[in-house]
Chain A
Amino acid sequence: SQQGEEDPQALSIQEGENATMNCSYKTSINNLQWYRQNSGRGLVHLILIRSNEREKHSGRLRVTLDTSKKSSSLLITASRAADTASYFCATVSMDSSYKLIFGSGTRLLVRP
């Protein structure tokens, strides 16, 4: 079952602009991860934020986590055409399976 919603479902921006995607989830989590998926391909891990962390940076990526609101956001700064992809948040379950539970994704289009 899907973990929660991602907002917006689709986003179109100009190259050089920032892109912000939001994710909500329903259950307690071990950590939250963001993945990118190019059309018809597998998922690529971008960044992981633990439940006791509030913000994390990696290159042009910035992730925030608010466990009280059960929400996270992914900011991509200075976007490039190559950032065009679908972005998914995924929570890691608290049980020993550590399985990923994905949101519905945001489709990002960066126009050159």
Chain B
Amino acid sequence: DTGVSQNPRHKITKRGQNVTFRCDPISEHNRLYWYRQTLGQGPEFLTYFQNEAQLEKSRLLSDRFSAERPKGSFSTLEIQRTEQGDSAMYLCASSLMAAAVNYGYTFGSGTRLTVV
């Protein structure tokens, strides 16, 4: 287990289709965060999990977005009825809650979504 893994790396989809991304965090990390990053901008917080519980969702997460983390392990982020404005890099990060204030977060390489 060498880090946070995200799949796929790239996804091209037609407008209106559904897409699902997967994030595998570092195994002992109980916190998992999703961020969205558009070109030339910093990442924006979407949602986070502590174990299997989704504790916060930002207003950016419209009802077309849903995230899960069954059994507190990997997480999925699904976008239904994709729109061109959903085109972005989707980043996942994990951490140990107890260490969050003392250590940095480990990010995956991201999934780049292009909606055509």
Contacts and interface: CB of A to CB of B under 8 A. Distances in A.
Contacts of B95: 98
Contacts of A104: 41-42
A46 B35 CA distance: 19
Nearest to B45: A99
A42 B110 contact: yes
Interface residues of B, number: 31
Given A30-B101, A97-B48, A102 B43 contact: yes
B7 to A, nearest CB: 13
Interface residues of A, number: 28
A60 to B, nearest CB: 17
A100 interface: yes
Contact of B55 (A30, A97, A100, A103): A97
Given A42-B109, A44-B107, A92-B101, A98 B31 contact: yes
Given A98-B97, A100-B33, A43 B103 contact: no
A27 to B, nearest CB: 13
B42 A99 contact: no
A82 to B, nearest CB: 18
Contacts of B97: 98
B112 A40 contact: yes
Centre residue among A33, A43, A101 by max chain B CB count within 10 A:
A43
Interface of A: 1-2, 30-31, 33, 35, 40-48, 50, 88, 90, 92, 97-105
